[in-house]
Structure 1
Amino acid sequence: MRIRTSRDLFTILILGCIFLRNYSKFKMTNVVCDSFNKSWVVYRECRLRAVSRNKTTLTAFVFISEPAYNIQMQLKVLKKANGYKPFLFDYTIDACKFMRTRYHPVAKMFWNLFKDISTLNHTCPYF
Structure 2
Amino acid sequence: MLFVYSTIIYKTLSIECKYNPEILTNVTCQLKPINWQKSVCIWNCDVLQPLKNVTIYFQLFKKNGANNFLPFLLNTTLNMCDVISKRTFSVYGKILTNILKEMSNLNHDCPYEGHLSLYNLYVDERYVPVTLPLGIYKAVVRFLEGYPQVFIGTAVLNFEAMENRERRGKVNKN
Fold similarity call, TM over 0.5 = yes
Q: Which residue is 2:68 aligned to?
A: 83
Residue 33 of structure 1: how far off its partner (Å): 2.1
Match of 1:26, as an amino acid?
Y
Residue 64 of structure 1: how far off its partner (Å): 0.5
From the superposition, tell whether residues 23 and 114 of structure 1 become closer, same or farther in structure 2 (CA, over 3 Å). farther
**Residue pair 1:74, 1:92 contacting (<8 A) in 2 also:** yes
- TM-align CA RMSD: 2.3
Q: Which runs of 5 or more structure 1 residues have no equivalent in the other structure?
A: 1-21
Report the secondary structure of 2:97's partner residue: helix
From the superposition, tell whether residues 23 and 106 of structure 1 become closer, same or farther in structure 2 (CA, over 3 Å). farther
Question: Per-residue CA shift, 1:5-45, capped at 9, x if unaligned?
Answer: xxxxxxxxxxxxxxxxx95432222323222x311123521
In proportion to residue count, which structure has more strand? 2
Q: Distance in 1 between matches of 2:28 and 2:54?
A: 20
In proportion to residue count, which structure has more helix? 1
Question: Per-residue CA shift, 1:49-86, capped at 9, x if unaligned?
Answer: 21111111110002110111121112222211122221
In the TM superposition, what are the counterparts of 1:15-94 in structure 2 within 5 Å?
A: 24-35=8-19, 37-42=20-25, 44-81=27-64, 82-94=67-79
What percentage of aligned pairs have identical amino acids?
25
Moved over 6 A (4+): none
Match of 2:22, as an amino acid?
S
Report the secondary structure of 2:102's partner residue: coil
Q: Distance in 2 between matches of 1:113 and 1:32?
A: 19
Report the secondary structure of 2:13's partner residue: coil
TM-score (norm 2): 0.53
Q: Which runs of 5 or more structure 2 residues have no equivalent in the other structure?
A: 1-5, 114-174
TM-score (norm 1): 0.70
**Residue pair 1:41, 1:62 contacting (<8 A) in 2 also:** yes
Q: How many residues of Structure 1 are paired with residues of Structure 2 in the alignment? A: 106
From the superposition, tell whether residues 114 and 29 of structure 1 become closer, same or farther in structure 2 (CA, over 3 Å). farther
